[in-house]
Structure formats: C-alpha cells, structure tokens
Amino acid sequence: MRVHTKDTQSGLTPRMALNILKEGNERFVRNLKAQRDLLAQVNATRDGQWPFAAILSCMDSRTSAELIFDQGLGDIFSIRIAGNIVNTDILGSMEFACKVAGSKLLVVLGHTKCGAVKGACDHVEMGNITEVLSKLQPAVYAERITKDMEQRNSGNGEFVENVSAINVRRNVKSVIERSYIIEQMVEKGEIGVVGAMYNIDTGIVEFYHDVEYIRDEKNPDFSLAELRH
C-alpha cells in the first residue's frame, strides 16, 4: 500500500476518510492486514506528509490507532492522552491537522475498560493525574442510569462503560464548540468529526452515529444547531 500524497488526500471527502478507517478496522479484526513496505513509506514521507485523518485516543498501550485501523506511516495523525480528553493543546493539534495539513476527518476514540475512566469513577487524586481525571468528572456526573451510589465506582463495569461512552460524546461536541476553525470547516463540509469506541476484547471499533458531524448527502439531518444552545 502506498502512502497518501497531496492529490490523494485532497481527493477524499470526510465520508471517504471514515470509510477508509472502517475498512482498516475490519481488516485488523479479520487479521488481514494490508501489505506494506514500511521502509519504503519512510522514504516516501521524508519530504512531506498528507494524513487523511486525525485520531484522538487514549494512551492505553492496547489502542494504537495505526494498528487498530490498519494504517501505515503518514496516513493518520495520532493524538494520544489518558482518557482521550480534550484540552487547548489538543485542539491546537487538531486545528493544525485539518486547517494546515489537510486532514478530512477528526475521530474521538474511547475504549472499553479504560483505566483513566475507572480512576475518575473512583475520584482518584494523585499528583498531576488529579488534573487529568478532573476533565473526566463531568462524564461521571452525567451518568444517570446507575442510581445506587454504592455502584457508582470502577467495580461496576456497566457504569464504567456508560461513563466512557458519555465522555466520547461530550468530547466530540467539545471539539466543535471550543474551536471556531473546526466548527467552520465542519459547517462547510470540508471536514467531519465523529466519536467511536474501541472494544479491547474484540478489536472492533463502533462508530457513534449520534455524534457523527459530516455534511453530505448521506447525512441529511446534519446540524450543529444543538451545540449552540
């Protein structure tokens, strides 16, 4: 498989970029990874890069975006931080990926059994980890399904996964709300933003259609209006 060039990148739509990731994950799950000459890709990208997507994922060692989407060198920007949280530095990185480097899609990717989410569920406070986990607390408080206070902790797997899903959805919306550049690019159909969850038991990535912000004919109900209220 060849690396992306300026022409191949510019010829993609956000929907096409999303489909490339879906197809890559399917290959990963089926253990049918594409054949690549990585050394050749090193040489091919030495003078420039044209990634078609940027993926914000957790730093968990099991969630490398290049692997689970079966992508090669120069194909995607990989932004990694505990709990796939959003902050100003990450927003700046995303703006660079899309506005400067031409990426067509932003993905906020959570994963099951997330240690950072578990820490937030247990209200862990330890050194600088405290500040990281504080950015996950809104998702913990937003979980309304678990009524029993004694079950609202990391020992309850369902609670943890509910919080993880809420965190992804909140962060997708936060990316658009907090970045005028990204918001405008989404509005114009230049890029798309979507949330997803990686299952560490199966290797399958589930994309969340309710937080899929792609303006095209396949999404006639597209609207950013809900983010403005």
Residue 215 makes CB contacts below 8 A (sequence gap 6+) with: 14, 186, 187, 188, 189, 192, 222
What's the pLDDT tens digit per position in 134-170? Answer: 999 999 999 999 999 999 999 999 999 999 999 999 9
> In this prediction, what percent of the chain has a pLDDT beyond 90?
81
Q: Which residue has the tokens 């890029």?
A: 191
Q: What are the b/e assignments for 109-118, b being 16+ CB within 10 Å?
A: bbbbbbbbbb
Residue 41 has pLDDT above 60, yes or no: yes
| 175 pLDDT above the threshold of 80 | yes
Fold of domain 6-113+179-220: Beta-carbonic Anhydrase; Chain A (3.40.1050)
d(Cα 225, Cα 229) in Å, to the nearest integer? 7
DSSP-assigned beta bridge partners for residue 7:
none
Taking the C-alpha atoms of residue 98 and residue 83, their distance in angstroms, rounded to an integer, is: 22
Q: What is the pLDDT of residues 85-107, one digit of tens each?
A: 999 999 999 999 999 999 999 99
Residue range 186-201: average pLDDT? Answer: 97
Residue 75 has pLDDT above 70, yes or no: yes
Burial class (CB in 10 A: 0-12, 13-18, 19+), 80: middle
User: What is residue 229's predicted lDDT score, i.e. its pLDDT?
Assistant: 56
Confidence check: pLDDT of 180 > 70: yes
Locate the domains of the chain by residue range. Answer: 6-113+179-220
CB 46 within 8 A of CB 24: no
What angle is formed at CA 75 by the lines to CA 44 and CA 10, rounded to 5 degrees?
A: 90
DSSP state of 136: T
Q: What share of the chain has pLDDT > 70, as a percent? A: 99
pTM: 0.94
d(CA 78, CA 66): 8
